[in-house]
Amino acid sequence: MNTVHKYLKGDQFLWGLILLLMLVSFLPIYSASSSLAYKFSGGNTFRFLTRHLIHLVLGGFFLYSVHRLNFRIIGKFSIIILPVAIVLLVVTLLQGTTMGGANAARWVRIPVLNMSFQTSAFASLALLVWLARWLAKPRDFTLFKSLYYPLAIALTLIFILPADFSTTAIIFGMTFILMIAAGVPWKHLGKIIGIGAAFLTLFILIVLAFPGISNRVDTWKSRIVNFGVTDSDASYQTDLAKMAIAEGQLFGKGPGKSVQKNFLPQSNSDFVFAVITEEYGLIGASGVVLLYMALFRRFVRIARRAHTKFGTLLVLAAASGMILQTLVNMGVATNLMPVTGQTLPFLSAGGSSIWMTCIALGIILSVSHTDVEKVVGESVQSQEEHENAEAHV
- 26-85 per-position pLDDT tens digit: 999 988 888 777 777 777 778 888 989 999 999 999 999 999 999 999 999 998 998 888
Boundary residue ending a domain (212, 240, 259): 212
Say if residue 373 is in the same domain as residue 250: yes
Residues 6+ apart with CB under 8 A from 206: 213
Provide the pLDDT for residue 52.
92
**Does any domain span residue 122?**
yes
369 within 8 A of 10, measured Cβ to Cβ: yes
Provide the pLDDT for residue 60.
96
**Does any domain span residue 6?**
no
CA distance 9 to 13: 11
Q: Which long-range contacts (CB under 8 A, 24 or more apart) does 219-222 make?
A: 219/103, 220/165
Average pLDDT, the chain: 82
Mean pLDDT of 133-141: 80
320 within 8 A of 86, measured Cβ to Cβ: no
CA distance 31 to 49: 9
Report how far apart, in Å, the C-alpha atoms of 266 and of each of 36, 314, 366, 391 are: 9, 32, 34, 67
Say if residue 53 is in the same domain as residue 94: no
Say if residue 290 is in the same domain as residue 342: yes
The pTM assigned to this predicted structure is 0.88
269 within 8 A of 35, measured Cβ to Cβ: no
Q: Which sign, positive or negative, has the C-alpha torsion 67, 71, 73, 75?
A: positive
Question: Domain of 201?
Answer: 71-212
- 86-132 per-position pLDDT tens digit: 888 888 877 755 554 454 467 777 666 666 778 888 999 999 999 99
For residue 341, count CB atoms less than 10 angstroms from its CB and return exposed for 0-12, middle for 13-18, buried for 19 or more.
Answer: buried
Provide the pLDDT for residue 140.
67
- 181-207 per-position pLDDT tens digit: 988 888 878 877 887 888 888 877 887
CA distance 169 to 157: 9
- Which amino acid does the sequence have at 303? A
Say if residue 79 is in the same domain as residue 125: yes
CA distance 367 to 311: 6
**Does any domain span residue 223?**
no
Say how far residue 7 (Cα) sits from the centre of its chain: 26
CA distance 261 to 244: 8
In the chain, what is the straight-line distance between the N-terminal and C-terminal CA atoms, in Å? 37
Q: What is the DSSP letter of 251?
A: T
- 206-263 per-position pLDDT tens digit: 877 776 666 566 666 666 656 655 554 446 788 888 999 999 999 999 998 999 888 8
**Does any domain span residue 327?**
yes
**Does any domain span residue 222?**
no
366, pLDDT greater than 60: yes
